Amino acid sequence: MKVLFFVFSVCFFSTVSHAQLMGGELVKEGRKLAVPSEFTMYESTEGAIVYRLSVDRTGKVTSAQIIPEQSSKISTPLQVRARTYVLGLKFEPGTHYPQFHECEVKINLVKKADK
């Protein structure tokens, strides 16, 4: 029973950790984040922003383009903060990866609780 619980837990948490990596070659090849991220920003509005990222062999995000069709309508300053957030993501480095890997990432915007 403990083994079954352990296997279930590992499967669940590995799925949750990639919940906001939506697609692309990076996801298909199983490349993971070097530093875990919640993919959540606490702001004055709710919604979601989807970015197409390009990641180099060192794991650094080198490019981030917003995908407006899949994103909520939000202000430009909030788009800039979200872009800064995704540019700070780090992925596993490796020389066996292509020079530039692409993926789509969804950032959830959660409204801050009023004090």
Could you state, in order of their start, the residue ranges of all structural domains in the chain? 20-111
- Nearest-5° Cα angle at 108, 102 to 109: 135
Q: Examine the pLDDT at 47 and tell me if it is beyond 90.
A: yes
pLDDT at 16 over 50: no
**Gap between the Cα atoms of 38 and 108, Å rounded:** 9
* Phi, psi dihedral angles at 92 (to 5 degrees): -60, 130
Residue 45 phi/psi, 5-degree rounding, is -140, 165
Fold entry, domain 20-111? TolA/TonB C-terminal domain (3.30.2420)
pTM: 0.76
Average pLDDT, the chain: 83
Q: Is a pLDDT exceeding 60 seen at residue 22? A: yes
User: What is d(CA 25, CA 4) in angstroms, rounded to the nearest whole number?
Assistant: 31
- Across the range 96-110, mean pLDDT stands at 92
Average pLDDT over residues 20-38: 88
